[in-house]
Structure 1
Amino acid sequence: MKLSLGPVLFYWDRQRTLEFYADMASATLDVIYLGETVCSKRRDMGLDDWIGLARELAQQSTAQLVLSGLTLVEAASELSSLRRLCDNGELLVEANDLGAVHYLSEKRLPFVGGPALNLYNGHALAELVRSGMQRWVPPVEISGAMIRAARAQLAQLDVPVPEIEIFAYGHLPLAYSARCFTARAENRPKDDCQFCCQNYPEGIPLLSQEGEALFTINGIQTMSASVSNLLADYPALVESGADLLRLSPRASGMTEVITAFDAVRKGGLPPLAVDGCNGYWHGQPGMLRAEEAGLC
């Protein structure tokens, strides 16, 4: 089993971003994703900066380096930037938008299908495999049973199964909007947000009227309130055919998270339970833990 570090979903300033990846360079990771996937206004790191960082990491780490593209493309300038990212000429690209898939397919370039592509069955997967998708990151709400079913459908269609990378740790990216919720929370217009996302290195908790945590607000992105953690489900992840486990960056504690997953993949016993949620993996509401759903 390989471990990957997903792209940073939050907006950290340039210095914090560089320091984070300097720490990650020595971690036991097999794949590292770089790039901005949430908002094109987050410009502390441009494409040239990400490619330069990838070159530096390549000298310190044996991990495969991948560039991740935007999930929601709304303007011609964003489409132009996305094309430039796809044409980088050095690194594999994670496509999070079907526009990127179309462009990469036209150029006959291999790519990673990101979790926002909404691929839920073998027939949809077959179309993208034929278009050049080498690795599939299933949507975060997909269950282990659905992944096994999709693999079986691919076999029936006589289409090779791409590498499967499961989102195994982090706040789950659930939805995207043209509106910026973080700017609205500070009574700012989206066009004059003052980059206020940087004030919230792990997003803004959104509570119900009863004070219960429901979601995490991250600019135009809505995320889960709880951190999803599938470490206790490691045997089921193996059974489902997972080739990689994606660990999504958080503002602190990532070294410990990577160490815990690395120990289990090397033969250590997985914990009986962990903090966080894993309901989606068991076909239940995502905010639940398996114990709460009566599955353990």
Structure 2
Amino acid sequence: MSLIHDDRIDAVAALPGPSLAGVEDYLALLKPRVMSLVVVTALTGMVAAPGDLHPVLMAISLLCIAVGAGASGALNMWWDADIDAIMTRTATRPVPAGRVTPGEALAFGMTLSVGSVLMLGLTANWLAAGLLAFTIFFYVVIYTMWLKRSTPQNIVIGGLAGAMPPMVAWAAATGSVGLESAVLVALIFMWTPPHFWALALIKCDDYERAGVPMLPVVAGPDETRRQILLYALALGPLGVAPAFIGLGGWLYLAVSIVVGVEFVRRAIVVHRVREGEAARKAAGKLFGFSLVHLFALFATLLIEKAVGLAPLTAPLDGWM
């Protein structure tokens, strides 16, 4: 079933040689859509943290976190160039399309990784820098190089990397890790599997051709739909939780309930509608709404902070 062989690195090296890259190709290596979510979640963690970080230091710290996320994306594209070339969704990415050579993507990603971690440590603190380094390592080595090709739980465990930006930002602002930032991490961590599995239901044939053991390929679409619903039900309470730990107010509580209920409703539709084009549309609608869901939660926290709305409860004391 798999088209991936043991000589994966040789296959990557055999991709088209001379670089035809433009600025837009290097921007594409950073996965800008993913980076935009990282910026929103990290900014929320930074703004919600106690204390006042100087605006210049805040901007630099946020930039470092965003660049670190982009570096992870570039290294992911370097390593995954062989399967990206097989999948229709990713075949036009700069490395498999031959516009950026694998060596250039590797050098670009490593340079940004080291630079973002060092800059964050020098301008904010080394706890935040260490957390950023861990996030990059976890995404590139643990998820991309190991989990993605070895287990259908790849996106569950690997989702920790994408969930870390609020905690990195919180540490940059405070020099510590608070329970509040851990709740934000848990929220994104629980959101990630149903988000990606909805896409995997649509792109199941792509993953099967590339030999990636995504849940629909290994366990089948019906089990994937069941797992999506279970995660959606677990996500609801986590979405509301920030309102009860000193992060969110009445507006956040209302928004989190509305989008949480809608997320579950769409997951129920995905679970029930299992045949033909209607099933694909249901999965596509859940995938699209999941982005709205996450953005709405974090944007509401930012809005409340910006306009000075009081949280429902007193802030918790940090535990680290």
* Bigger CA radius of gyration: 2
Specify which structure has the higher proportion of strand.
1
Question: Does the TM-score normalized on the shorter chain lie above 0.5?
Answer: no
What TM-score does the superposition give when structure 1 sets the normalisation length?
A: 0.28
Specify which structure has the higher proportion of helix.
2
What TM-score does the superposition give when structure 2 sets the normalisation length?
A: 0.27
